[in-house]
Amino acid sequence: MKRLALYLRVSTLDQHPETQMYDLHQMAEQRGYRIVNEYEDRISGAKARRPGLDAMMRDARRGQFDVVLVWACDRIARSTKHFLEVLDELNRLNIEFISFREQIDTAGPLGRAIMVIVGAVAELERSLIVERVRAGMRRAKLEGRHIGRKALVLDRAAIHRGRQNGQSLGQLAKANLVSRTTIHRVLGEQIPAVTKGLEKPAA
């Protein structure tokens, strides 16, 4: 018996998911699925953060169910792009996706064909993103702009002197706008010039 997760969403607080719930439970019973989790959001589909959907995807990555059943495709995603991303991830996790209203079932022949298209679109999107990043890096290089994190410039001698004068790691970190770990690493380095500069002049 396959383990089933139900996902329901209503757009406003004055709506109720009972209609969706009834249809989904009926389909689960007809197919002989065992419902192990139900996730619900009462929020607009355009909102980026949805606690119910986020929780469902976390549990999907943990392998807690085999099938996701929704009332309609527009219930699960805020945009076509987001819908394709969700389907692509579920496919990679070997989790079937079923939509009650559209009668999409990724376990069937048509559903598998849809997943091939979804996978191709997702792969194309990833390739375009990589190419855009590379093009940006090439343009920045041609314009003479620095790429990546700027090199950290520290007055190591001053840090050593400050430590020898009794300053704490926290005080040194704050004064140099770096972490205590960085200060600790710098203090572990040997600075001959500091020692030489602190030597008393010969009488």
Could you give the residue numbers annotated as active site?
11
* CA distance linking residue 203 with residue 185, whole number of Å: 36
Measured CA to CA, the distance from residue 164 to residue 103 in angstroms comes to 74
Ramachandran assignment for 171, one of left (phi > 0), alpha (psi -120 to 50 degrees), beta (any other) = alpha
DSSP state of 13: T
> What is the rounded distance in angstroms from the CA atom of residue 109 to the CA atom of residue 88?
17
Q: What is the Cα–Cα distance from 195 to 160, expressed in whole angstroms?
A: 9
If 0-12 CB within 10 Å is exposed, 13-18 middle and 19+ buried, where does residue 189 land? Answer: exposed
- Encoding tokens for residue 47? 């909102």
Rounded Cα distance between 59 and 1, Å, is 18
Backbone angles phi, psi at 97, to 5 degrees: -125, 130
In angstroms, the CA 189 to CA 160 distance is 9
